Structure 1
Amino acid sequence: MVDKIDHVDVLIVGGGPVGLITAYQLATTLPPPHKIRIIEQYAKSSQDQYGRAITLFPRSSEMLDQLGLADLLAQQCFACRTTVSYDKDGNEVQGRGWSFMEQMKDTVWDFSLVLRQKYQEEIFREQLKKKGVALESPMGLVAVEVDERLRFGEYRVTATLEDGNTKEKSIVKCKYLIGADGGRSFVRRALQIPFDGSSSEDKWVRIDGVIDTDLPKPRSYCAIESPTHGNVLWAALDHGGTRIGFAFTKERERAYKVFNEEAAVKEAIASVKPFSLKFKQVDWWTIYVVGQRIARNFFVKDSVFLAGDACHTHSSGAAQGMNTGLHDSVNLGWKLSLVLRGLAKPELLYTYESERKPNVQKLINYDKDISRLMTMQLPEGWTGDPNADPNVVLGVVMAEAATFSSGLGIYYEADNVLSIQGSFAPAASANAVVAGKRVPDAALQKPGTFEATRLHRETPNTGRFHVAVFAGDPSHTGGVLAQLFLEIEKSSFFSNASLPISWLTISTRSGPSAVEVLGAMPYGKVFYDQQLAAHSRFGVESSKGAVFVLRPDGWVGTATTLGSSTLGEIERYFRRFLSTGLHGEKVDRGIVQARL
């Protein structure tokens, strides 16, 4: 008999990094009386192993930095800036394996942040608890129903939970349910969401521990081109550990009736030949089947989301699993927060799938090729030289995927709801900052002290948009600036204090008084860009200026020229999805785009 019913805004299923980061964002941005809960089926003592994901690439670190979490990870991480590749004879070869990692620039997080998932989760749980939300474990979801007769934003989802210790059942009614419960997601299966794709016959082994070796560069991200174990991963870990990963071929598998830790150690030693390897301590090991799958839908029944491995699985070949899940989480968190607070139209939630799914599909496509090449097989449908060396081809593929793998090149298509190409057009280049692309970081100075700061540091992800006015040189743009600030003050739209919008102004000139430098009372904070680092990176001419709308998650929403039409353009952008009273209404899928 279940007699305990709890009503919450959001129930998050899954206590891994994706679930924890989603919960953290919501706990940070949702004021009382909003309520969220996060549950995990397994007791964390049994889940807190050393293994699983290890690497965060620069864009993931940037997003965590804007959430105020990256510095905590950096305290414990191994900051990997060195890569090396060795051929089968132990000779160092250039431009292969993980070499793209040494070219990850345009960010202060220009390294691979290596910290095992165990330690990351400990940090995330602690910070989440400080926000008033504790992970409930062991607590499993055993049934879920969605009442589609109720309006969008009402308590449409009924979830039955079971305490893993007492076996006591309870009911949670929620407005939204987020399945971040891994590749075997109960949420996905319960909602009967197809999981398209397949598993291969390829198996890989991963083993972590403390080692002795004669490998010349052991504290690096290393590839060893083994003729028997594929393209072997050697990754320096946090706390002095090392991970070895290799292909477990049918030939190797036939040598073992039972594959246990002793066998994993033996094969790891064989995989890194001609180098020697001795394990002083084994922390963790696993063997798994390689495959790629993607959920047919990431958002269903206007109330249930999938994120992370629950909606996409792939090999660890490109080390993208946790990174892709964090991209899901950060994309979803602020959108759901705005809708729950009644500040955005409910239809905004559909952009989660429309933005994330194409990027996940790109990863799946890359991963299919990379995972085959790492097992010494050419990609399916390969039309090149049938005798090509898979290690050489792998180097080419990983180089082509470099900006995607680092996350710095991930973008959302322009001309959709949230990425609108405005009147500003920077000079054409591969790094052009346009709608849908990542907001680059840039050095700035604070007024008065001239203290150094960074754009990302001054535009944290608190669920608010940041409108950055690139003022250029006020001796040229002063008149236009004064008019813009005056229009903002008089605007009936922007004078609404509840709008989730913050302003900042960046001037290429500095002085003892920001007001005097700009020639007008600025709107929002002021920063100086004397070296033109920010203006140059954003492609803004000092004599003309421009205005960029920066999304809460650190992508460009739109960009306008600085002039008489600036405020009108920005207002039209926000009116597409911000709301003053539409929360809770019934939504018709067929007119979503038209209404937005």
Structure 2
Amino acid sequence: MAISNINTETIVYDVVIVGGGPVGLLLAYQLKRFGVSVCVFEQHHKETQDAYGRAIALFPRTLEQLDQLDLIEPMLQLGFACRTSVTYKDGERILPGRVWTFMENIRDTAYDFVLVLRQMFTEQILRKKLDKIGVPYHQGVECIDFRIDDGKSPDEYPVNSEFVDRATRKQFWLKSKYLVGADGGRSFVRRHAGIPFEGDSSDDQWIRIDGIVETDMPLNRSYGAIESKTHGNVLWAPLDHAATRIGYAYTEEIAAKYPDGVTQEVAEKEAIEAMKPFNVKFKEVHWWTLYKIGQRIAKSFFTQGRILLCGDAAHTHSSGAAQGLNTGIHDAVNLGWKLALQIRGIIKPNVLETYSTERMSAVQKLIDYDKDISMLMSYKWPAWYKGDPKADPYLVLGEIFEKAASFNTGLGISYHENDLNQSLVIALNVVPGSRPPDVDLSMPGTGRSVRFQDITRNIAKFWVVVFTGNVLSTRTSLQGLRKSLETTQKLNSNEAVSWITISAVVGCSPYETLGMEPFGDTFYDASNLAHQKYGFGLEQGGIVILRPDGLIGTGGPVEGQLVKDYFAKILVST
């Protein structure tokens, strides 16, 4: 979108996003859908910048989040769904495999695979979505300054940001309530806000090269690890559109062979060497890169009450575990609903503050883990290793990946207790701040199977889920819940709160089954599997409250006070 419609007069938005990569685009899409005015500015022209390349793997929890936002279908049409992995050493297949084997053991989700889709296509899909819902998106425009007017009320627009059209050098100002930096590892927003970027960079370098290849490697459409002593743990990744990525360590020994530096010819030649004894021939080369390995994290993702960081602007790490884009998407999803509900005056300021603490804790885990795997993938030992220096680093690498399987898929990422993740009132099988079990339920009447995550997928709402056990034994509690809610009309009718009932008893209609009006829509748990997985007995039932992003907020008995106490810390008025 051109910027011809921008003049020198100040323009006002709720949120201004600097950076038009996938994280900035996804955040803008959420905010607009949630009723917030937003615009995106990208300093590069994306059609020519890194045409392919960059991030490729979307893991199950990321796919679930994209599904919640109605973004998954076009990605499934373009991407490569990978469910298998393979490890080769000296041309022989290792069983069981190492590193990527967790891909074959993904459970408890409809997305039991890794979707491989190059970032260019992800961005194209997101830009089309933004255009469809009317989000202003401008390329070739750079942020050069911003300042905050102190003393403004929450409903005013205290952030003044200055931009320049890089082609015409025309400058203009914007006013907003918040400014988000999603502008990459060299983030102007982060630097201008004075946020330290802490961590280390190493001298280790990796090469990634994408293209159409021919090979005699037997399992060439599985996510592969080729264990090499000269090129590190070589990545073999099947891509969308029948392409493949090869990644390897560009060691000092390899670099010494090329005093004039790395060219595409060098990248291609060493990729062929890395894959030996298998033969590889490049029919097309789409993209390649040489980059240094490092891990850095911003001191805070939220500063001055108005400036926020997302994605690479907030943290950088190697591509060893393929977590970069996934982590950025998790940032955007965590921030999107909190920022929107804050701007709309629905939640208290303490909820938005949890964005930085929650995401920083998850990213720090990734960075600590990434330091080890990037060393081991380069066929080096981490500093903490005190074992036999002649041992095989790839054995330890495989063990680390196995232990981190739930983190890699994203299904096991969780957050500590805070105002959103409150202690359980009774002992259950779920943990506040974690992803709940996804189970099959059935629709009244038709008996059609529906997954729990499908019925709680509205990412702009909190969900109060009422589990009814044996109706005769829980009816008194249900009636008490209804009576309690009648005295809290603002909570009962709040636009950010929805209710559903999960009945352990199957009947002809929800009303007859319960002997009263249900709480929201009703779904049947005929096998009682949902009750078991969540930890509710059939005599008492219980309540689970979900955050808008689907994580557990709290849980306990069927009591109105539980619901009131939870939302008293979150909603502006209950």
Give TM class, smaller chain.
over 0.9
* TM superposition shift of 1:388: 2.3
* TM superposition shift of 1:96: 1.2
* TM superposition shift of 1:423: 1.4
Alignment of 1:197 with 2:199, yes or no, is: yes
Deviations 1:437-482 (A, max 9, x none): 1122211111122222111111123311011111123243223223
The alignment partner of 1:178 has SS state of strand
In 1: Cα distance, 2:132 partner to 2:388 partner: 57
Amino acid in structure 1 at the alignment position of 2:88: Y
Q: Where does residue 517 of structure 2 map in the other structure? A: 521
In 2: Cα distance, 1:424 partner to 1:433 partner: 11
Deviates more, 1:278-287 or 1:2-11: 2-11
The alignment partner of 1:44 has SS state of coil
Alignment of 1:20 with 2:25, yes or no, is: yes
Deviates more, 1:527-536 or 1:142-151: 142-151
In 1: Cα distance, 2:248 partner to 2:86 partner: 16
The alignment partner of 2:267 has SS state of helix
309, 312, 324: which one aligns with 2:312: 309
Amino acid in structure 2 at the alignment position of 1:449: T
Q: Where does residue 140 of structure 1 map in the other structure? A: 142
Instruction: Please list, as runs of the form range in 1=range in 2, the aligned pairs for 1:456-535 lying within 5 A after superposition.
Output: 456-495=453-492, 497-535=493-531
Q: Where does residue 539 of structure 1 map in the other structure? A: 535
In 2: Cα distance, 1:490 partner to 1:514 partner: 24
* TM superposition shift of 1:105: 1.1
Are 1:13 and 1:141, in contact at CA under 8 Å, matched by a contact in 2? Answer: yes
Q: Where does residue 13 of structure 2 map in the other structure? A: 8
Are 1:342 and 1:580, in contact at CA under 8 Å, matched by a contact in 2? Answer: no
In 2: Cα distance, 1:280 partner to 1:230 partner: 24
Instruction: Please list, as runs of the form range in 1=range in 2, the aligned pairs for 1:141-540 lying within 5 A after superposition.
Output: 141-152=143-154, 154-256=156-258, 257-414=260-417, 416-426=418-428, 432-495=429-492, 497-540=493-536
Are 1:545 and 1:561, in contact at CA under 8 Å, matched by a contact in 2? Answer: yes
Deviations 1:223-242 (A, max 9, x none): 00011100000001111110
Amino acid in structure 2 at the alignment position of 1:574: F
Q: Where does residue 570 of structure 1 map in the other structure? A: 563
* TM superposition shift of 1:291: 0.3
Instruction: Please list, as runs of the form range in 1=range in 2, the aligned pairs for 1:28-107 lying within 5 A after superposition.
Output: 28-30=33-35, 34-47=36-49, 49-107=51-109
In 2: Cα distance, 1:473 partner to 1:219 partner: 50
Are 1:207 and 1:282, in contact at CA under 8 Å, matched by a contact in 2? Answer: yes
CA RMSD of aligned residues (A): 1.6
The alignment partner of 1:46 has SS state of coil
* TM superposition shift of 1:387: 2.6
Aligned residues: 568
Amino acid in structure 2 at the alignment position of 1:285: W
In 2: Cα distance, 1:387 partner to 1:536 partner: 48
Are 1:481 and 1:518, in contact at CA under 8 Å, matched by a contact in 2? Answer: no
Are 2:91 and 2:278, in contact at CA under 8 Å, matched by a contact in 1? Answer: no
* TM superposition shift of 1:48: 5.7
The alignment partner of 2:491 has SS state of coil
Are 2:255 and 2:261, in contact at CA under 8 Å, matched by a contact in 1? Answer: no
In 2: Cα distance, 1:510 partner to 1:206 partner: 55
In 2: Cα distance, 1:44 partner to 1:68 partner: 23
* TM superposition shift of 1:262: 0.9
Alignment of 1:558 with 2:554, yes or no, is: yes
Amino acid in structure 2 at the alignment position of 1:210: I
Deviations 1:266-313 (A, max 9, x none): 010000111010011111110100000000111011000001100100
Amino acid in structure 1 at the alignment position of 2:451: R
In 1: Cα distance, 2:387 partner to 2:458 partner: 45
* TM superposition shift of 1:152: 4.3
In 1: Cα distance, 2:330 partner to 2:379 partner: 30
In 2: Cα distance, 1:300 partner to 1:19 partner: 18
Are 2:480 and 2:560, in contact at CA under 8 Å, matched by a contact in 1? Answer: no
Deviates more, 1:242-251 or 1:341-350: 341-350
* TM superposition shift of 1:3: 3.3
Amino acid in structure 2 at the alignment position of 1:155: Y
Are 1:196 and 1:294, in contact at CA under 8 Å, matched by a contact in 2? Answer: yes
Are 2:198 and 2:298, in contact at CA under 8 Å, matched by a contact in 1? Answer: yes
TM-score (norm 1): 0.93
Deviations 1:329-361 (A, max 9, x none): 111111111110011112322111111111110
In 2: Cα distance, 1:95 partner to 1:8 partner: 51
In 2: Cα distance, 1:473 partner to 1:114 partner: 45
In 2: Cα distance, 1:340 partner to 1:43 partner: 30
Deviates more, 1:437-446 or 1:19-28: 437-446
Deviates more, 1:449-458 or 1:268-277: 449-458
Deviates more, 1:537-546 or 1:360-369: 537-546
In 2: Cα distance, 1:15 partner to 1:537 partner: 40
Amino acid in structure 1 at the alignment position of 2:15: V
Are 1:84 and 1:98, in contact at CA under 8 Å, matched by a contact in 2? Answer: yes
5+ long unaligned stretches in structure 1: 427-431, 582-596
The alignment partner of 1:71 has SS state of helix
* TM superposition shift of 1:517: 0.5
In 2: Cα distance, 1:89 partner to 1:175 partner: 58
Deviates more, 1:148-157 or 1:435-444: 148-157
Q: Where does residue 584 of structure 1 map in the other structure? A: none
In 2: Cα distance, 1:492 partner to 1:76 partner: 46
Are 1:29 and 1:463, in contact at CA under 8 Å, matched by a contact in 2? Answer: yes
The alignment partner of 2:389 has SS state of coil
Amino acid in structure 1 at the alignment position of 2:29: Y
* TM superposition shift of 1:488: 2.4
* TM superposition shift of 1:405: 1.0
The alignment partner of 1:159 has SS state of strand
Change in CA separation of 1:227 and 1:386 when aligned onto 2, cut-off 3 Å: closer
Change in CA separation of 1:384 and 1:148 when aligned onto 2, cut-off 3 Å: farther
Q: Where does residue 429 of structure 1 map in the other structure? A: none
In 2: Cα distance, 1:54 partner to 1:344 partner: 35
* TM superposition shift of 1:385: 2.9
Amino acid in structure 2 at the alignment position of 1:9: D
Instruction: Give structure 1 regions of 4+ aligned residues with deviation exceeding 6 angstroms.
Output: none
In 2: Cα distance, 1:436 partner to 1:35 partner: 29
In 2: Cα distance, 1:462 partner to 1:331 partner: 10
